[in-house]
């Protein structure tokens, strides 16, 4: 069941889910994976910004500040799991991020700053913003407060990537195209992998896809891509 409004919220979400049983085994089982994904994602984001601080020494202080925010996010989401008495399945989450993580690390080794920024500051941040936006209306009260604080930070991380890539747009264009082609299909696969668990949390896949496309399209536009490029780039691998 899916009814979309211009806000990107589904009818289910507008009803504010009075019927979610956060204590049910079904909910907690799904939460053990989604919560782990978020914890592992925040941990990897922390490491990625530290790596970017090495690669982009003129923005070292800013990037270290972002990496510290990511560790705080991780602590917040660990508390959300504890609050529901859920043990996060971190092995599952490591697997979930493995491909994107590996691509980031290879790019970092090769000094490909543009690719690193596309993976972390555009793709992963947009994925996080979409997920957190969709989660907030259906979260338990404790997790909602934490997530509302976190999502504000994620917009500032996305903004860092946008500003840098906008300033280096012409010389980054070709690498952005290639990095998008390699990494965006992975995100759609990740979304498919988590869709059933997300549904249990009352987060609809269609809403996640839509919010991601809006964030990512806006980011590409802010960097300097035209509408035609944005359509082509943001749908890449959507049917993979
Ligand atoms: O920059 C960040 O903080 C991002 C690392 C965090 C990743 C969040 C990943 C969210 C995907 C969750 C999918 C649940 C449906
Ligand atoms: Fe539905
Ligand atoms: Fe974060
Ligand atoms: Fe972030």
Between 236 and 35, the more confident residue is: 35
Q: How many CA atoms lie within 13 A of 68 on its CB side?
A: 6
Residues at CB less than 6 angstroms from ligand 1 = 34, 37-38, 41-42, 45, 70, 73, 124-125, 127-128, 131, 154, 157, 194, 198, 203, 208
Q: Whose CA is nearest to atom 3 of ligand 1?
A: 42
- CA-to-CA distance for 14 and 137, rounded, in angstroms? 8
ipTM, 2 dp? 0.94
Residues β-bridged to residue 4: 10
Ligand closest to the CA atom of residue 45 = 1
Cα 25 to ligand 1 centre (Å): 23
Q: What is the pLDDT of residue 55?
A: 98
- Whole-model pTM: value is 0.92
Q: What is the pLDDT of residue 2?
A: 34
Q: Is 195 exposed, middle or buried (0-12, 13-18, 19+ CB in 10 A)?
A: middle
């Amino acid at each position: 069941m899916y009814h979309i409004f211009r806000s990107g919220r589904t009818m289910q979400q507008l009803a504010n889910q009075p019927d979610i049983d956060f204590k049910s085994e079904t909910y907690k089982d799904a939460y053990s994976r989604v919560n782990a994904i978020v914890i592992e994602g925040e941990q990897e984001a922390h490491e990625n910004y530290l790596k970017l601080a090495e690669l982009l020494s003129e923005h070292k202080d800013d990037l270290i500040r972002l990496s510290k925010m990511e560790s705080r996010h991780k602590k917040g989401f660990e508390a959300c799991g504890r609050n529901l008495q859920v043990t996060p399945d971190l092995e599952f989450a490591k697997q979930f991020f493995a491909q994107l993580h590996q691509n980031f690390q290879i790019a970092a080794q090769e000094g490909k700053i543009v690719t690193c920024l596309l993976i972390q500051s555009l793709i992963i941040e947009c994925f996080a913003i979409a997920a957190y936006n969709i989660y907030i209306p259906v979260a338990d009260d404790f997790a909602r407060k934490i997530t509302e604080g976190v999502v504000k930070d994620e917009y500032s991380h996305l903004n860092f990537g946008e500003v840098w890539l906008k300033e280096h747009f012409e010389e980054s264009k070709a690498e952005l195209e290639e990095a998008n082609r390699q990494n965006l299909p992975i995100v759609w696969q990740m979304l498919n992998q988590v869709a059933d668990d997300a549904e249990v949390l009352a987060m609809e896949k269609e809403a996640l896809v839509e919010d991601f496309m809006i964030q990512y399209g806006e980011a590409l536009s802010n960097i300097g891509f035209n509408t035609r490029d944005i359509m082509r780039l943001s749908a890449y691998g959507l049917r993979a």
